Every structure is written in C-alpha cells, then in structure tokens.
Structure 1
C-alpha cells in the first residue's frame, strides 16, 4: 500500500512540442511512484522549475522560466490541491531563451541561453517577480563555431552560503562567480573559472561538504572537478573525469552524447549524470577527498533524451525527465553502491524538469 508523504513532484515540459506545461504528481514514499494529479499550460515552454518562498507569508512558491525568444519568468501558488495557479503575471527577463532559474534572498535569477546573460528580478510580498532589476551580460566564445560563437548562459545557481551566485556558460567554457548585493539583488562578476576549451559546461552541483563542486560538460561527456572557496569566492578547476565508458561517445552520429544534468548524493559518496543521445544515467563514486570521481557504470535512463535528473528529498529515489520519449522514469538507489534500479515510469509529453515540494 502506498504512503502519502505530502511531497509532490512538479514536472516542466515544452508546450511547443506537445507538453502539458507544468504537471503535478503525488510521490509515494514507499515506492517512489508518481501519480499525476493535474497540469496547467498557462505558461509557454516552462522548461525549468524551482521552488522558493514568498517574502511575505513564507508560503512555498513554484517558479518557472518560459523558454521562448522573448523570455519570461512566472510564479505559481502550489498550496491548493490542484494545478499550480499563477501569482500575478509572467515577467519579461529581458533575455532570450531562459533555460534555468534560482531563488535566493528575495530575488529570482534566470540564466538566458540565447542572449548569454543572467537576469535579476526582485520578488514581491506575494512571491511574484517584479520588473527586472538588472541584467548581467556575458562576453566571449569558444572553439565550436556551431555552439560557441557567442555566450550561452545555461545555469544560474546561488552558492550554499548565499554570498555568491554562479553562472555556467556553455559558449565561453567558463563559470562566473558573481557577487550578490543583498539589497538590490544586482550581480557583479567577481571571478571567472576558465575550463578546457570546447568542453561546453552546462550545469554544476555542489558537494554537500561545501568545498567542491562538479561542472558537467555538454560538448564532451566529462565532469570537471573544482575546489570552491566560499570565503574568497574563487573556483579552481582541478581536473576532469569521464562520465561514459571509453568508446561510448566517438563524436559521430548517432552515438554522440550530450550530458545534461549532474546530481550529488546527500552523503557525498556518489555522483550521477544524465546523458542525452547515449540515453543513460552514469554512476560515479566519490572518495573522501571528493576530488576524484570514478565512473562505475552507465545504465539506461528508462526513455530517450534525459534532459533532467533529480533526487527526491529523502535521497532514496532518482527521477529522469526523458524529453523525446515523453516520460518521467524513477529508480531506487542502492545505498552501498549508488546503482539505480528502474522502478516505474509515467507519461509526461516533452518532459524537461522535475522538482519537489
């Protein structure tokens, strides 16, 4: 018999590809199973989601980007039992194609892939975003003429300490560390960690101990290990590790992989990546130094083109949003080996992101 833990999953999708927008599902605490409750398509292409709290009441709020050319961000009330309800109106981000967002200190930040910029939007008392307070524009490029002719900010993430905001740019092969003004939410580039040219960094994840982070590269199936100093705001690349077995990605069609998301276990012992094209989830073991990920295995993702990977709040279940097969699959995790075992799947057309609240 299922266990209703009160935790719900929120799944983003591309409405332009037949997606339902934002889908809400109950999470069974015993099995990890998802049961769809409702959906809303009031926002176009809500490809990435984040959960924050309204500055006033402190109620949980769901935030979403609208990944369109004239990008926007929106807030949703998730306190009811049905579909998320818009709070206010979607707010322009003054950027092209926002692909990621994060919430920190009463501000919402979006990474705008098309325009290579990061936008700050202040949050109002009810949690809705106000007009853009600032846009930090990246500069530079990389050696891949098709993907790196211009900057492409792909992720923006506040550091656990809250003092810094990091932006990952696929076009410039770098991660910018930005100083955050807590009053205005404005961002200023403080330092820039330059990665190996042509790797195309996409997303990063912090180690729970706080001294390291892992940058997943999209243009090469590798993860770059970095030391992180939360006091000085400096990021130091230490080396790379493969996320796929040798020969699994030879740069040609149809086997070329485009890694999309990286997740670190709550205990800091394992790292998982989602690999589009190869359609797999990679398992990497981390030692006590946290600096030497070792590839253990790559298992099927339960679908095609896994765009996102997410741990549930307990760390027992791993979920893959498989965009091209239109489903979200879930896996139980072996606590000793980190190996995922497939447990089930639900249909979610053009699925792109999973978050929990």
Structure 2
C-alpha cells in the first residue's frame, strides 16, 4: 500500500501543472511598446540558470512589476514622462500555456508611477507616483481586472536639495507585515509617510495619529523592507547612501541606527536603490548604483541593527532593483545601463554572494520579481 501511495505522489508531483517551479519576472524601459517589455524566465534552482518562458510587447516602459498573492496576475507600472500619462496594467500569467495575456489598464494618477504593491487579500493594488508625489489605491476584480482608482493622495512639500527635492516624490508603497498599515518613503520630502489600511472599507486608506517619520535632511528615502519577524524595518536612502534601521510596532517606526551602504572610498554622489532581507532574517542586502554598482551585505543582529559584511559587484551597471528567491538560495539583479541580469548564489552561513548561471541580456532591464509555484 505504501509503495502504491509513493508512486501516486511521484506521478502527481511530476505533472507539469503541479510540479514546483520558480519564475523570475522582469520589467524594462523599452520606450517602444512594439518591442518586448515584460519577460518571464524559469529559474533553475540547482545551477542558477535562467531560461526564457515568454515575453510581452504592447506596453511602454513597464518599469516595475508586482504579482497578485496567488501569482496568477502580474501588475505593471508604465512610466510615461508625460503629464498625467502614467498607467498601471494587469496581465494573466498562464503557467500551463506559458503565456502572458493583457487584461486592462488604468490611469496611475500621475506621470511616472514607479512602485506597485498588492494587498494580501488580492482585492487591492496600491501605486506610488514619483514625479507628482502621490499614491493611488485601486480595487482588483476577481478576474484580475484593475478598476479605476478610488483614492489618490497628493503631497507637495519638498526638502533641502532644490535640484532633487523641489517637491514630494513617492518612491515606494509598502504594507506592514500585518497589512494594516501602508508606508510611503518620500524621497522629495525626506519622510516615510504612514497610513492605516482597512481592507473592509470602500476607501481603505486613512490618516494615522503619527503621519510620518522624518529622515535625515537630504537623505532621500527610497525603498522600505520589513524583517520577517515584523519587529524591524529598513529604509534605503538613495541620496544619503545609507540604510536607516527602525523598530516597528502598530504603525509606528522608531529609529535605531543609520549605516552607510557604501565603502569608505566613496564620499558623495550616492545612488543607493533597493533593499531586501534574506528569508531567514539573518542578512540584509542593499544595492548601490552610480560609481559603485554593487550589493552591500550586512548581518542583522538580535536587536535589529546591522553590521557590514562586505560588497559584491553586480557585474554590470545601475542595479535599479534586485530580488531574492523564496528559498533565499539565489539573488538576482536587474542592471539597467548594461542591460544584463546577474544571478548570485547566496551562502546561508556567511551571507556572501557568488555569481552563477549563464549571462542573460534584457534591454534596459529595470525590475525583477521572483515567485515559486
């Protein structure tokens, strides 16, 4: 009986529809919707190789992607560089047929949407518009269709750098671990804005008692990542070249530490960009563009603070974003200016990275998201 059950499970696991696979989804600046803009690759979780599955043309500059909680739908930002011309789009990813199908598009409420995040209920999508400094909230239908936004909050004030911070610039939209709060790093105002999010309300976003956490003037907060234990948050500052560490509880951030993402030989003109934590919660990774083009590696201490471990070249230029696969075994960078993708294998004990896999070229690649099915 046990032998029969084992064989049945083996056959079930080998069925193409049910076998576990890991996919990497890439967005890009294609500038011409007639060319490919979104790409899907399968990740070989043994050797780290990427093999192309499908792609989509018919969308301009899908610079940032996010997936629905069930992985069935892909949502994309479209940066337009045209006033009120930005949009967000929805696609269905069919693993069995290896296809991407366009569903619909909605206005982003601004010129350059740069970040999307989906609520764990699958019912809401939140977008951050960089140029205008605003955030938009969209209902999502059961078939993956994006409805017109039902909330759009505009921000205006800037900060001390007149060239970069003449007004608010929302650079990411990040839910708290319990999805009851939304945080908005504002590069233009040197603030991490906070809102309550009630999934059951028709207009879920509402103000909180402490509406923002102030960052160092001129630091330009960009992306935010929460620790798997939900007790700490980490914000990478694009202009300051640093990561600020916060303790977190019930919608409130309290600063614990600020540590450079760059080595001592770099003194200015920082372009720090993305930040992620290993699934085991032991290491934090931060990307630097500009002169450095590397991943800064930190160990996370018991109190949430960081200790610098080292730096790893991304083997390209301008790592706008990067991602870790769900197992924490691989880290993949999207190097925009060299149009290449680099796969690294992560040492779970030391946190260090080693390049693996074949070289992949994706023109003007900007974003990578990884999902295991």
- For the criterion TM > 0.5, the same-fold answer is yes
> 2: distance between equivalents of 1:145 and 1:189?
28
Q: 1:160 aligns with which of 172, 177, 180?
A: 177
Question: Residue 38 of structure 2 corresponds to which residue in structure 1?
Answer: 22
1:11-41, Cα deviation, whole Å (9 max, x unpaired): 0001118973100101101012111122112
The verdict on how the C-alpha distance between 1:59 and 1:267 changes in structure 2, with shifts beyond 3 A counting, is closer
Looking at structure 2, the residues matched to 306 and 5 of structure 1 have their Cα atoms a distance apart, in angstroms, of: 28
Q: How does 1:102-141 map to 2 (within 5 A)?
A: 102-104=117-119, 105=121, 106-141=123-158
The corresponding residue for 1:350 is: 364
Partners of 2:22 and 2:346 in 1: CA distance: 18
Please point out which of 205, 208, 216 is paired with 2:236. 216
Distance of 2:32 and 2:245 partners within structure 1: 35
Query: Would you say how many aligned residue pairs link Structure 1 and Structure 2?
Result: 341
Output one character per residue of 1:58-101: Cα deviation in whole Å (capped at 9) or x when no partner: 662111111123111111110243341111x2111212200000
Give the match for residue 13 of structure 1.
Answer: 28
1:334 aligns to 2:347 (yes or no): yes
5 Å-filtered alignment, 1:182-221, equals 182=199, 183-190=201-208, 191-221=211-241
Residue number among 26, 43, 60 corresponding to 2:72 in the alignment: 60
TM-score, scaled to structure 2: 0.88
The CA deviation at 1:219 is 0.2
Q: Which among 14, 23, 34 is matched to residue 50 of structure 2?
A: 34
Partners of 1:237 and 1:184 lie apart in 2 by 33
Alignment pair present for 1:181 and 2:188: no
> Can you give the 5+ residue segments of structure 2 that lack an aligned partner in the other structure?
1-18
SS at match of 2:31: helix
Structure 2 match to 1:96: 111
Contact persistence 2:220–2:239 (CA under 8 A): yes
Higher Cα Rg, which structure: 2
Question: Out of 230, 249, 253, which is 1:229 matched to?
Answer: 249
Which one of 316, 324, 329 corresponds to residue 303 of structure 1? Answer: 316
List per-residue Cα deviations over 1:297-353 (Å, max 9, x = no partner): 111112111001100111100000000000110100111110001113310110111
Q: Please say if 1:240 is aligned against 2:252.
A: no
Q: Is the Cα–Cα contact under 8 Å of residues 24 and 83 in structure 1 kept in the other structure? A: no
SS at match of 1:96: coil
Alpha carbons of 1:17 and 1:74: their partners in 2 closer, same or farther (altered >3 Å)?
Answer: closer
Instruction: Give the unaligned 5+ runs of structure 1.
Output: none
Work out whether residues 280 and 328 of structure 2, in 8 Å CA contact, stay in contact via their aligned partners in 1.
Answer: no
Q: 2:252, 2:301 → 1: CA distance?
A: 23
Question: For the residues of structure 1 that align with 2:370 and 2:312, how far apart are their CA atoms?
Answer: 24
Shift of 1:170: 0.3
Q: In 2, are the aligned partners of 1:179 and 1:188 still within 8 Å (CA)?
A: yes
- Distance of 1:52 and 1:163 partners within structure 2: 17
Contact (CA 8 Å) 2:231, 2:249: kept in 1 or not? Answer: yes
Q: Secondary structure in 2 aligned to 1:199?
A: coil
